[in-house]
Chain A
């Protein structure tokens, strides 16, 4: 039978459909709840799905991934608080629109933009993944090491205010990956005679600690009685002809940018949304409206952030390098199921790849349907008492981690990772590069050592693919450094100009007066 048909037929299994329904519901809930990210939810769900078959498990995980990309826009528009980082750019125009009484319209437009973004990117996944995987079959140690360097460089460049802190976080992840046995000689390293460390740090435990426990700990530290008040007046829901027409251009700009950013290893929806919004503004006839309640801005931001999903899946499945942090967690789960994402996956499991595409498309359409059911009620989730949330997440993190190994020591690793994670969060060190370093560390080390033994460092120059990847990594790093220096100079110049300007009455930031 045709592998594509095989893969799609597998989705008709009632347990898979049930898994998707649960995943979409969970995804929308966690997306709408600020403080629980898709990464955290997928990490937690991995503990539940390890005993399932790969298709059943992926149905749950991918549906959470998709659902969260719809749910996170609701608090972004109604409360100006992004449910996940991918919705940061949604707040730029979504919230001003809500303040103008157009929240309903913003929610509907945002839903359509998000759905179209994902579906277009899945077309790219379907078309590009196989050729990329076939190309990557030729990769040797030099190419794989260069690919890891590129992924880490991009992640470091985009994930932290301080490049130095980002690099240190990446190095920390690579160092953590050395715990266990040496990948070439099998000598024990940093195991201290403990069984729990002898077979490397449990990846899922570390991810749950860094993304789940650390987030909850941070909320405990800073929790106040302040209640977020969503905008209650929603206005009309459906766009008129003129509004529909104005969305075409930003939709195309956002989707193209999002898909390209998604393909770049480790770059996710947050960065794509920001770039998409910025580029659409630069190319708009009405850039002055951006940031003040522009439908174009909303469409560009949402289509860009969600169209990373297909690109990120392409990189993850075709190259084995996670396209974003959610894919990093899924990659860990797939390894536990005995699947090795990468070029070989397409040769050995073509039906599974079709199933993945099918799950993404179905969950996107269902999520859009739910989004259009005027689910403003989801914002009520903001009123959920934090004490119940903290206790529930803590116990679920413990059990989810325990389920991966049936070893209580893994739970200790998870809690330690949580403590380290909250420390990192409070001190400005991003968790993303740590996870990527931990995941890719063995690949980087073993390939680099093999490459150096085979042909020495000169091999990087004689292997054109490796050379190109390394040049891209250098360009990404230097480009980020340059743009940050320029931004800092601009800020200093603006501050200087402000200091020299004659004193004026203080500008109010709101318009509460005179009403």
Chain B
């Protein structure tokens, strides 16, 4: 049996028929329509399966090479950092530097192996992931920027409520939410609910 590892739930890619069946003959054959489903509904469902299958991410050698080389660099940095740990009493041998150095050393060896594999073997399939799109990267970039600004605002003002309402309104705008429900009611009601639950009931100082 071909086990599907690292399957992430919830991706639309998982809804694809053929790859979702172990030892499948590549089909989502449905033997009978004996109990109620209509031909039209079946056609609709199978149309969805095809659309979803088209969204699966493709394997990428460039990505695998970039990952492997980045890991090599990170592991070297990790080893250097581990050796630079300041120890109050030098005992040599199994000291506080030993364990992180061993971890980074083993990871470095595996990263080098991963580099060789990235250059010489077919790249890993990514059928459990969906393809990214330009709009997605824009959404993600704005989310990170807004979250960073939110933390700065919360830290500087010491106020949770106003920065949170502004954050939610801004996020909804970025995520194509429009209208007073998305941009006004939702942020206010959500922040009020959170404040009530955490500050009032759970006594978390917000």
Hey, which bits of chain A sit against chain B, CB under 8 A?
Answer: 33-37, 48, 51, 72, 79-85, 87-88, 91-92, 95-96, 98-102, 158-162, 164-165, 167-168, 171-172, 174-175, 178, 182, 184-185, 187-190, 215, 217-224, 226, 228-229, 231-236, 270-271, 274, 277-278, 291-293, 385-388, 390-392, 394-396, 398-399, 402-403, 406, 408, 411-412, 415, 419, 422, 425-428, 430, 445, 448-449, 452-453, 487, 491, 507-512, 515
Contacts and interface: CB of A to CB of B under 8 A. Distances in A.
A226 B48 CA distance: 8
A408 B96 contact: no
A510 B9 contact: no
A101 B9 contact: no
Q: Which of A36, A37, A215, A387 has the largest count of B CB atoms less than 10 A from its CB?
A: A387
Contacts, number: 311
A515 B120 CA distance: 47
B103 A220 contact: no
A453 B94 contact: yes
Interface in B179-198: 182, 186, 190-191, 194, 197-198
B22 A92 contact: yes
Given A391-B171, A402-B204, A403-B198, 18 more contacts: A34-B9, A48-B202, A79-B15, A82-B14, A92-B20, A100-B30, A162-B124, A164-B110, A165-B114, A185-B88, A274-B22, A386-B175, A394-B171, A403-B204, A406-B204, A415-B144, A428-B126, A449-B99
Contact of B194 (A220, A277, A395): A395
Given A178-B99, A515-B43, A48 B197 contact: yes
27 contacts: A34-B10, A37-B9, A80-B16, A81-B10, A82-B10, A88-B4, A99-B45, A171-B107, A218-B8, A222-B11, A222-B129, A224-B55, A224-B130, A226-B48, A228-B12, A270-B7, A278-B1, A385-B177, A392-B190, A394-B171, A395-B191, A415-B151, A449-B98, A487-B2, A508-B27, A509-B27, A515-B42
Given A91-B20, A185-B95, A168 B155 contact: no
A229 B52 CA distance: 11
Interface residues of B, number: 116
A84 to B, nearest CB: 5
Contacts of B140: 217, 220-221, 422
Contacts of B15: 79-81, 228
A225 to B, nearest CB: 10
